[in-house]
Amino acid sequence: MKKVIMYGSPMCGDCVEAKKVLEEEQIRYGYVDVTAGMAHLKKFLNLRDNRPEFDAVKEEGKIGIPCFVVDDKDLYIMLPEDLDVLR
């Protein structure tokens, strides 16, 4: 079983929808609410500011959530179309 961590916020419509899909598909995941506290936000910003996958997102002035980290290495911004990468 893969280790899936989702960074998101309940204030983000895409994040709410992504959680719904994960639960419907019975994909186990950990959830980090980046708006729940400074420690969670700092953890996400450290990830975002040190991974090239976020360059385009930052150029567009976006935050980059929902974000999925799989097995501490693979990163997906937004829910991947192929959910098997999360299984």
Q: Which segments within 1-87 are labelled E, that is strand?
A: 4-8, 30-33, 67-70, 74-77
Q: What pLDDT shows up at residue 84?
A: 96
Answer yes or no: are the C-beta atoms of 31 and 46 closer than 8 Å: no
Which residues 6+ apart lie within 8 Å of 81 measured at CB?
none
Res 52: pLDDT: 96
Q: pLDDT at position 69, please?
A: 98
Residue 67, pLDDT score: 98
What is d(CA 83, CA 27) in angstroms, rounded to the nearest whole number?
9
Q: pLDDT per residue over 6-51, tens digit each? A: 999 999 999 999 999 999 999 999 999 999 999 999 999 999 999 9
pLDDT, mean of residues 54-76: 97
Please state the pTM of the whole predicted model.
0.94
Domain 4-86 belongs in CATH node 3.40.30.10: yes
d(CA 74, CA 78): 13
